[in-house]
Structure 1
């Protein structure tokens, strides 16, 4: 059996943004999860959300004191595209591992959902740079079925390139050049040491850049203590802004939730557990808890302190996905005959890499400086100065673009 190499790659979030109100469409989750679907991408919202939480829980088990950051949507998209070529038990196992209940949604509906979602995300608004791209690099000796290639192009907007994998250096340069371009230079030299018998590399890239509607003022960013744990304290640059935010304190799981919407249709959730309560929050983290937060948020005046930081992460996915039930595609039992017509392929490698940069947007800082510095006596203080969980969501489709936990902002 030949190997083909699957690489899942993610470019990072270049800046968070925030505004003083939550748009009307922010209340759409209840309709999506408990009412009729309005768009094809709503058909896959629950599955994608459940996969995001499953993946987070698995990674968190082995990373109690480490930063976590990944794109669940990037991983789901790449492996759903791979499902176009999967058959029999390999197909059902793959889709089930991605948290799609095949008694409630068909394979066709899944691919149609991703098709609609990719089109939606690639045209979010004039205020946000957001691209979700897929590519297939195919060895010249491999002859994929026309149906597989056409479906990859149609449903997943995949670019298709012929590659000479006999020249591994040339192949790596070709793939890395594509990734570099798609991620605006944020991910470089990702592909290294391709297996000698690689016949195909599948790549998913996501890049996002957004701006604060009312930016933090970089002139008032100051160093503060960040309490990594009960024994470790580090100095971090802490941004500050006074304004109106949607927040909720969940007494049941002991955490503070703060929502920072972007310009456009993307929102950032910051979940700040009480000291010593991170595991309690992580254990409860799931779709039901998220819906509870959606319906409990209230707007209030807040003195908000948020760390300025950047991190990068890299995950070898084989072990994680196996624990989530996706096993066949990595073994001789793989049936990927929908790619070539023969069950002679398996996945030899699956890599996910992510980059995140949170900072002030100084270009518009002066416009709101005066109001930001006048706290109201009735306002509360939310200081994100200990480990926190974050989730970046596209609100109309309810898609998790990014998810993570920042244990130490100084560890890259």
Structure 2
């Protein structure tokens, strides 16, 4: 089988600062259907249907669609902002992040946030700028859990070993001596599926860390054994919020392993290396974006149905400057540049690659506007009734492998040119950007950069 495996873990760590230390009709069904240009305008309300038997059920279905689409809009805007920051900070490196699990973890945090911290989270997660509800009122903190409940329920509906599988899981690890509020515990479980597991950070923080890593390892099917490295927890740790995602996709159009040959890949600093390239000739969507100076192609995965369908979008920039353009796209630019793609036969030379990427997102998220969350000024009193908690770290770890036999390596065609051989032949022999998305909700599951596939 020719497939891809990806998984990510996001872990937010909170310490105590005690007194000892001082909508279906809203959008069209385009690939990028959301009109971001009207983000500040009121959304068009769907006419209230005539009351008759079954109308309540249909209204519930409709409202559910609106919820997960609204969540997806906010997530996409947040995803591109987050990725562009990480890309700027990690130039010349491989990158893999799952913005979805980062926003999920932060949205769980929002349940317990108050005051300025609540405002910061609403703004950074883009819930303050995604328009208005049908009653013309803005979205508030109280709306977010139901929005996420709808989206996570939709995305977690896929589990089939023969086709694409995507699972997202959340968990809380709280110190057994800390009395967390029942409402916070019940709401995280209800809306995010995050159960509270008591651990003993104060008495044995290393055992607690082992418990958290064991959960992450099991959730990612053994691909991320150490989400929390040594030194990330200590006796002052009071709560860890964790979210993890696992994706396994099988190519709809499969590469022929007989076409796999060694080739040359040039990294961003100009150095060259020999790696294995897969070769395939497919009828797929493609486009050359003059604005981004990049080729864009879509490689679909085998899917269950139109209700859950995944694809990888690959962006092959002309050079490093074009890569910067791609990695700094806004939501509106991404939507615009992915329009009007044409179906044509393309010969693709794609390196097999395997990425392990870990980063503490605390500085990045703080720069994005979550300054109070990572300081003693944080107000997370909705978690324990006291204003004595703040984040110390926001650990993110990801793994992805693209090859011809699922989770093991094999790979592709002799490619020694430094540019694409022609419009209908694309050689991914230089740094490129990719994103994996679920089509019906337009959710960005994973994003990354391949600078060195070896």
Fold match, TM over 0.5? Answer: yes
Which of 80, 84, 102 lines up with 1:75 in the alignment? Answer: 102
Which of 270, 273, 282 lines up with 2:317 in the alignment? Answer: 273
2:10 matched residue in structure 1: 8
1:255 matched residue in structure 2: 294
8 Å Cα contact 2:295/2:315 also seen in 1? yes
Deviates more, 1:292-301 or 1:378-387: 378-387
How does 1:166-245 map onto structure 2 within 5 Å? 166-191=203-228, 192-193=230-231, 194-229=233-268, 231-245=270-284
1:332 matched residue in structure 2: 376
8 Å Cα contact 1:216/1:361 also seen in 2? no
8 Å Cα contact 2:158/2:167 also seen in 1? no
1:321 matched residue in structure 2: 365
8 Å Cα contact 2:323/2:433 also seen in 1? no
Which runs of 5 or more residues in structure 1 are unaligned? 1-6, 11-24, 364-377
Deviation at 1:267, TM superposition (A): 1.2
Alpha-carbon displacement from aligned partner over 1:136-191 (angstroms, at most 9, x marks no partner): 01111111111101110111111221111111222122111111111100001222
Which runs of 5 or more residues in structure 2 are unaligned? 1-8, 13-27, 45-62, 132-137, 304-308, 408-421
Structure possessing the higher relative contact order (Cα contacts under 8 Å, 6 or more residues apart): 1
| Distance of 2:35 and 2:423 partners within structure 1 | 33
Per the alignment, in what secondary structure is the counterpart of residue 277 of structure 1? Answer: helix
Residue 312 (1) aligns with residue 348 (2)? no
TM-score by structure 2 length?
Answer: 0.78
Deviation at 1:293, TM superposition (A): 3.0
- The 1:40–1:236 alpha-carbon spacing in structure 2 relative to 1, beyond 3 Å, is same
| Distance of 2:406 and 2:359 partners within structure 1 | 33
How many positions carry a matched residue from both structures?
A: 376
Deviates more, 1:189-198 or 1:136-145: 189-198
| Distance of 1:98 and 1:243 partners within structure 2 | 38
Deviation at 1:325, TM superposition (A): 0.6
1:94 matched residue in structure 2: 121
1:352 matched residue in structure 2: 396
Per the alignment, in what secondary structure is the counterpart of residue 29 of structure 1? Answer: coil
- The 1:28–1:242 alpha-carbon spacing in structure 2 relative to 1, beyond 3 Å, is closer
1:387 matched residue in structure 2: 431
Deviation at 1:105, TM superposition (A): 2.2
| Distance of 2:255 and 2:33 partners within structure 1 | 32
Alpha-carbon displacement from aligned partner over 1:217-259 (angstroms, at most 9, x marks no partner): 2232111111214631111110011110100101122110000
| Distance of 1:276 and 1:333 partners within structure 2 | 40
| Bigger helix fraction | 1
Q: How large is the RMSD of aligned CA atoms in angstroms?
A: 2.3
TM-score by structure 1 length?
Answer: 0.86
Deviation at 1:110, TM superposition (A): 2.1
1:370 matched residue in structure 2: none
Deviation at 1:130, TM superposition (A): 1.2
